[in-house]
Structure 1
Amino acid sequence: MAFALKGVAYITGAGSGIGQYAAYSLARQGVRSFALLDRNPVTKTVSELKKNYPGISIKEIELDVASETAVNDSVTQTVKEFGRIDYAFNNAGIGGTLNTTDNIDLDDFQRVLSVNTTAVWLCQRAQIRQMLKQEKLTNSDRSYRGSIVNTASMYGVVGPSLNVPCTAYTTSKHAVVGLTRSDAIAFAGKGIKINALCPGYVATPLVLSSMNKGSVMDDERRKVPVQRLANMDEIGDLVAFLHSEASSYMIGATLVADGGFTIQ
């Protein structure tokens, strides 16, 4: 499906994985102005976009999403470069250690929440403040001043498997869902659309590197009804969908894409 997206995209965690493929999908749907943000280089993402879409405009920003100053500055830089932010994808996150509560140190727990929850709030706050200043791209009822998508997880709507005791991660992703719903209610009437994407297990380089016969991830893959992990472009396409007018009546939604894992 073609969504004919116009405007400016702002993507955290854009150097690899879901953030990278979200950029590719948004470009396929027509976006030609990107702020790509990551703690690590976004070289591969930039190279691929420029190869396939001559004339594309890209602002590369090194960003620690847990820094309030850095987040606010990144939005300022993006608006200075492109004039506005239409599609924000708050995707940067970490997994943390696999431990139950009795075995987690306070510092480890707080680190996961800092990156996965507080940082999403910092980004969303800065984006909302900007979007409230700008007008819609079109006069259509299906158009918004801006659209925000937050990466949660299937573990943002259910508890983890017994053999995947990701307590801190699950807590942080449930919080992202709550943040998404709260701000979606507060700002829908002001022209800002906010939704959460809840992927299941995705074949990112990190996940694939951990898979071998008898591994935890290999066991988890067998639990997925479709018997495979999601491809990164499948999740990237959902980001484009949530930013498009095709999802214009979705407000505060948690779009679960997990191959059926959570309905068992």
Structure 2
Amino acid sequence: MAFTLKGVAYITGAGSGIGQYAAYSLARQGVRAFTLLDRNPVTETVKELKKNYQDVSIKEIALDVVNEDAVNDSIAQTVKEFGRIDFAFNNAGIGGMLKTTNEIPLDDFQRVIDVNLKGVWLCQRAQIRQMLKQEKLSDSPRSYRGSIVNTASMYGLISPSINVPSTAYSTSKHAVIGLTRADATVFAPKGIKINALCPGYIATPLVMSTMDKGSVMENERIKVPLQRLGTMEEMGDLVAFLHSDASSYMIGAALTADGGFTVQ
């Protein structure tokens, strides 16, 4: 089905990668109010949105998602600017060291857990608190007070490949799926939809910088049944789908998009 999105989007990690392309996909579907958040500048994302949509309104916020006060303030700023939050995409995350448990330093493990799990939890908590205060945009049974999508990973569903010992990353993404499911069941009856996206190997700038022939990532790509990496646009489109009425009966889902990697 075709769908149109009307409302306010709040996107962390919006300066590049999947967060950036989620903004583009949401705009294509009709969203015209954005709060774009990142520790790094969101200049390129803003430039592209304004080039293609003259009526777009954008609030830019520099955000470290592990800072509770900053997260809460970013929600307050968004509501002050736009009145509500309809589509939240908690996407900010880091990979951490490719180390096994016996090798990884505690500070690196803790940093990955803080950003990838605590950061998502802090954002989701603040978003839920706001969404509980606002009404649905329509009387349709397929409508919600708000929709939240969290970026997990295929490595939140399976263990990492032996060539990719991303212990901390996998641990954090398993936990994000658990958080998504736990809150989804509690808040669905209250009119809040929460789901997770589980990407496989995606052609983000970071991944592409490691794709020299014979590299770890090239060897991993060969294992993908589709024989290619996923694109950032494909992931952005799935974020738009999860926020739309087309996914109105999906609650606590961990939507996998990995070219078939996890079904082999």
Report deviation, 1:105: 1.1
Equivalent positions of 1:53-132 (< 5 A) are 53-132=53-132
- Other-structure match for 1:27: 27
- Other-structure match for 2:48: 48
Q: Which amino acid aligns with 2:88?
A: A
Q: Which amino acid aligns with 1:10?
A: Y
Equivalent positions of 1:237-256 (< 5 A) are 237-256=237-256
* Aligned 8 A contact 1:98 1:164 in 2: yes
Q: State TM-score, norm by structure 2.
A: 0.99
In the alignment, structure 1 residue 220 sits paired with structure 2 residue 215: no
- Other-structure match for 1:151: 151
- Other-structure match for 2:134: 134
Q: String of CA shifts for 1:82-117, please: whole Å, max 9, x gaps.
A: 000000000000000001100011111110000000
Q: String of CA shifts for 1:209-246, please: whole Å, max 9, x gaps.
A: 11101100000000000000001000000000000000
Report deviation, 1:2: 3.2
How many angstroms apart in 2 are the aligned matches of 1:49 and 1:108? Answer: 35
Q: String of CA shifts for 1:44-85, please: whole Å, max 9, x gaps.
A: 000000000001000000000010011000000000000000
Give the match's secondary structure for 1:149. strand
Give the match's secondary structure for 1:103. coil
Report deviation, 1:3: 1.6
Q: Which amino acid aligns with 1:13?
A: G
How many angstroms apart in 2 are the aligned matches of 1:118 and 1:135? Answer: 27
- Other-structure match for 2:173: 173
* Aligned 8 A contact 1:2 1:29 in 2: no
Q: String of CA shifts for 1:110-150, please: whole Å, max 9, x gaps.
A: 10000000000000000000000000010000000000000
Aligned CA-pair RMSD: 0.5
Which 5+ residue runs of structure 2 have no aligned equivalent?
none
How many angstroms apart in 1 are the aligned matches of 2:2 and 2:47? Answer: 23
Report how many aligned residue pairs link the two structures.
Answer: 264
How many angstroms apart in 2 are the aligned matches of 1:2 and 1:239? Answer: 15
- Other-structure match for 2:6: 6
How many angstroms apart in 2 are the aligned matches of 1:231 and 1:213? Answer: 19
How many angstroms apart in 1 are the aligned matches of 2:108 and 2:44? Answer: 30
Q: State TM-score, norm by structure 1.
A: 0.99
In the alignment, structure 1 residue 229 sits paired with structure 2 residue 229: yes
Q: Which amino acid aligns with 2:150?
A: N
Q: Which amino acid aligns with 1:231?
A: T
Report deviation, 1:192: 0.1
Which 5+ residue runs of structure 1 have no aligned equivalent?
none
Identical counterparts, % of pairs: 79
How many angstroms apart in 1 are the aligned matches of 2:16 and 2:73? Answer: 22
**4+ runs of 1 displaced by more than 3 Å?**
none
